[in-house]
């Protein structure tokens, strides 16, 4: 599996911890930054991660900012992206099984690193269930198509 990862300054430390976990899981990582705790703008990191996933260059994406909210809003603007903002292990499993989420967003100022790493592991290892959920994902894609190009 190949995972694109990005953070702003508010998520930098957690991003680095997640990279350590991914290395221990033999997951290939593309890190788009940021590279330190100097203030930056989260859309500049959400966009390349989401674009790599949407283009099929990476299998999944992980985004971290202070809350995870800005990253998730930005990533979900990219067609084909289903970014889930997750801060508990139940949701980490459910969003893979039900939503086939392809990007995970978390907030470093919301949860501690222990829980965050558990969430990442569960999210990466849980399979999409398909079945009845497929119809719902098709409806989400339909919304995207209907509004494509609308200003």
Say which of 34, 58, 83, 98 is annotated catalytic. 98
Nearer to ligand RB5, 15 or 98 (CB): 15
Q: What is the rounded distance in angstroms from the CA atom of residue 67 to the CA atom of residue 56?
A: 27
Question: Is 8 annotated for ligand binding?
Answer: yes
Does 8 help bind ligand RB5 (rule: CB under 6 A)? yes
Residues 99-138 touching ligand RB5, rule: CB under 6 A, are: none
Say which of 65, 83, 87, 147 is annotated catalytic. 65
Among 66, 76, 91, 105, binds ligand RB5 (CB under 6 A): 66
Nearer to ligand RB5, 65 or 81 (CB): 65
Does 6 help bind ligand RB5 (rule: CB under 6 A)? no
Which tokens hold the place of 145? 């198509």
Q: What is the rounded distance in angstroms from the CA atom of residue 76 to the CA atom of residue 24?
A: 29
Alpha carbon 21 to its chain centroid, in Å, reads 15
Q: How many CA atoms lie within 13 A of 26 on its CB side?
A: 0
Q: What is the rounded distance in angstroms from the CA atom of residue 151 to the CA atom of residue 144?
A: 13
Q: What is the rounded distance in angstroms from the CA atom of residue 46 to the CA atom of residue 77?
A: 10
Does 31 help bind ligand RB5 (rule: CB under 6 A)? no
Binding-site residues for D-ribulose 5-phosphate, in ranges, read 8-9, 66-70, 99, 109, 132, 136
Residues annotated catalytic, as ranges: 65, 98
């Amino acid at each position: 599996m190949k995972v694109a990862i990005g953070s702003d300054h508010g998520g930098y430390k957690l991003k680095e911890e997640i990279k350590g976990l991914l290395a221990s899981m033999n997951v290939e990582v593309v890190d788009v930054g940021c590279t330190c705790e100097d203030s930056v703008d989260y859309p500049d990191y959400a966009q390349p991660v989401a674009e790599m996933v949407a283009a099929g260059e990476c299998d999944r994406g992980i985004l971290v900012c202070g809350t995870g909210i800005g990253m998730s809003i930005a990533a979900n603007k990219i067609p084909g992206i289903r970014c889930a903002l997750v801060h508990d292990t139940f949701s980490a499993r459910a969003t893979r099984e039900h939503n086939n989420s392809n990007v995970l967003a978390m907030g470093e100022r919301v949860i501690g690193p222990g829980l965050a790493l558990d969430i990442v592991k569960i999210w990466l290892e849980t399979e999409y269930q398909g079945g009845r959920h497929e119809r719902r994902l098709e409806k989400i894609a339909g919304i995207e198509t209907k509004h494509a190009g609308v200003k």
